Amino acid sequence: MANKRDISEQIPHYLQFGWLAFRPKWLKLLNSPKWFLFFLVMYFFTQSIVVNGVYSVSISTIEKRYGYSSSLTGFLTSSFDIAALVLTPLVSFLGARRKKPVWCGVGLLTMGIGMLIFFLPHVFSGRYEAGAESESGLSTGLCNSTSVNSCEYTSGNKGYVPLFVLGMLVMGSGATPMIALGIPYMDENVKAKASPMYVGIFYASGLLGCLTQINGSLAECSCLLPSSSRDIITMGKCRFSCGYKYGILLGAVFLFGFFTFMNMTPATTVTLRCLPVDRRTYGLGFQMTMTRLLGAIPGPIAFGTLIDWNCILWDRGCDDHGNCLEYNNTQLAYTVFGLCFVCKLVTTLSYFVAFVYCRKINRSLAMGVDTAEMSGAVVSGITNESLEIEACVKTETTTHL
């Protein structure tokens, strides 16, 4: 019997683990589902850090830096999913017939190029200089209250929109093979019982983020009139003490995120188990297409538009308004909560309909199995009875002879 070393030496060079002509023997240690999961997690981790992490916490900075409205930054966010929407059917069709890991590697390289393109406006735009709008006569508690009107800080900023959109489109194109091909390939190479654990580890790698806040105050200011009752100016807008409401908000956000991401692994596992092996790639691709078409693309634009509707103070420029400086917080809270509630209600009803429909299918399949077993038993009984009759006839014939 040939040992493993002899078998490995008999494998052709082009079938060995590696890339192009680089196929050393030690590299086959990485040829396992666990290592593929590791690199797929790094793939998702990189995409989540840039798109869901750095970009998400920098949206307000981009609005102030370039004078963009929330609806425009919402369109920038949707550009990522527009590219994925267009390319998902094509990638699912071509990737199902070819090497799925190669498609994932090319997608990761493409996503890196998109990140560099998205970085270019910061290089070309130069240093940021805050602008101001000219107003006079507003000297409540302040002396020599004047400001200078300037449009230089907003001139040409709209020209960077195509670069931002192109960067998001390229990043969306690179992220397409990650779920459409990476998860089906991983599911094909692990046991059915271990597949949910692998999928859960994959999705858990994308839940990272960061937030930083700096506060400052100015005391003993010479611009304050002697009759003023306050001698301290706090930088920024007036702050209100919310007290226990902060705790309620953090608890609600935690529960919202917990229940949102809790169903990702079961939903993906159910999708993989409901489809044949050769159609799982197409199924996940279609699922991604519908998710982006109904949610990921119109969602940021809709929320951005609603946020702009609740703006009560715009940073006005020479030709058009820039970013919003002050919102109606009460109205904004009710608006965002109402839209989130409607979306979650539709999601819950959809899962309930899917649950009822799957129960009907399971009952039909169970009835079909029972009918087949009963038919098999009847056929078996008839066959046994025919054999017994035939045996009796042969016995009687032999006796007469």
The pLDDT assigned to 1 comes to 46
The pLDDT assigned to 238 comes to 59
Same-domain check for residues 264 and 350:
no
- Please, are residues 386 and 393 in contact by the beta-carbon 8 Å criterion? no
Cα-Cα end-to-end distance for the chain:
59
> In 122-138, which positions are buried (b, 16+ CB within 10 angstroms) versus exposed (e)?
eeeeeeeeebeeeeeee
Note whether residue 16 is domain-resident. Answer: no
Considering 31-40, 147-156, 226-235, 377-386, the range whose residues carry the highest mean pLDDT is: 31-40
With 80 as the cut, is the pLDDT of residue 163 above it?
yes
Same-domain check for residues 367 and 300:
no
Note whether residue 87 is domain-resident. Answer: yes
The string of DSSP letters for 330-354 reads HHHHHHHHHHHHHHHHHHHHHHHHH
For 316-354, how does the pLDDT look when each residue is reduced to its tens digit (9 = 90+)?
665 566 677 777 888 888 888 888 888 888 888 988 888
Same-domain check for residues 387 and 316:
no
Mean pLDDT in residue range 56-61: 78
- Please, are residues 343 and 175 in contact by the beta-carbon 8 Å criterion? no
For the purposes of burial, counting CB atoms within 10 Å of the CB of 89, is it exposed (0-12), middle (13-18) or buried (19 or more)?
A: middle
**Alpha carbon of 246 to those of 215, 249, 251, 255, 380: distances in Å?**
18, 5, 9, 14, 72
Pick from 327, 358, 376: which residue ends a domain? 327
The pLDDT assigned to 184 comes to 77
Question: Which contiguous run of DSSP H or E holds residue 43?
Answer: helix 33-47
SS3 content of the chain, % helix, strand, coil (to 5): 70, 5, 25
- Please, are residues 107 and 182 in contact by the beta-carbon 8 Å criterion? no
Question: Which contiguous run of DSSP H or E holds residue 281?
Answer: helix 280-291
Pick from 293, 327, 361: which residue ends a domain? 327
**Can you tell me the distance from the alpha carbon of 15 to that of 36, in angstroms, rounded to the nearest whole number?**
17
Instruction: List the one residue out of 122, 108, 208, 206 whose CA is nearest residue 164.
Output: 122
- Please, are residues 308 and 327 in contact by the beta-carbon 8 Å criterion? no
User: What is the count of structural domains for the chain?
Assistant: 2
For the purposes of burial, counting CB atoms within 10 Å of the CB of 17, is it exposed (0-12), middle (13-18) or buried (19 or more)?
A: middle
Mean pLDDT in residue range 363-380: 56
Same-domain check for residues 167 and 199:
yes
Alpha-carbon Rg of the chain, whole angstroms? 32
Q: What is the mean pLDDT of the chain?
A: 71
- Of 71-85, 255-269, 344-358, 366-380, which range is least confident? 366-380
**Can you tell me the distance from the alpha carbon of 78 to that of 71, in angstroms, rounded to the nearest whole number?**
10
Note whether residue 145 is domain-resident. Answer: no
Q: Which residues pair with 362 in a beta bridge?
A: none
- Of 2-11, 29-38, 161-170, 179-188, which range is least confident? 2-11
Question: Which contiguous run of DSSP H or E holds residue 312?
Answer: strand 311-316
Looking at residue 383, its amino acid is T
Note whether residue 4 is domain-resident. Answer: no
Same-domain check for residues 349 and 319:
no
- 204 or 105: whose pLDDT is higher? 105
- Please, are residues 186 and 36 in contact by the beta-carbon 8 Å criterion? yes
With 60 as the cut, is the pLDDT of residue 138 above it?
no
With 80 as the cut, is the pLDDT of residue 31 above it?
no
> In 219-247, which positions are buried (b, 16+ CB within 10 angstroms) versus exposed (e)?
eeeeebeeeeeeeeeeeeeeeeeeeeeee
Same-domain check for residues 323 and 356:
no
Same-domain check for residues 316 and 385:
no
Pick from 294, 327, 360: which residue ends a domain? 327
Same-domain check for residues 243 and 384:
no
CATH number for 284: 1.20.1250
Note whether residue 10 is domain-resident. Answer: no
**Alpha carbon of 26 to those of 5, 12, 19, 21, 101: distances in Å?**
13, 16, 13, 14, 19
Same-domain check for residues 247 and 396:
no
Same-domain check for residues 259 and 313:
yes
Same-domain check for residues 169 and 41:
yes
Mean pLDDT in residue range 124-146: 55
Q: Are strands 232-234 and 311-316 parallel, antiparallel or unpaired?
A: unpaired
- In 180-278, where does DSSP find H-type helix? 183-188, 195-204, 245-262, 264-274
Note whether residue 8 is domain-resident. Answer: no
Note whether residue 5 is domain-resident. Answer: no
Domain that holds residue 359: 345-400
388 pLDDT band, cuts 50/70/90, is: very low
Same-domain check for residues 285 and 394:
no
> pTM for the complete prediction?
0.57
* Length reported for the chain: 401
With 60 as the cut, is the pLDDT of residue 131 above it?
no
Note whether residue 333 is domain-resident. Answer: no
Instruction: List the one residue out of 149, 152, 150 whose CA is nearest residue 126.
Output: 152
- Please, are residues 271 and 283 in contact by the beta-carbon 8 Å criterion? yes
With 60 as the cut, is the pLDDT of residue 379 above it?
no
- Percent of the chain residues past pLDDT 90, beyond the cut: 0
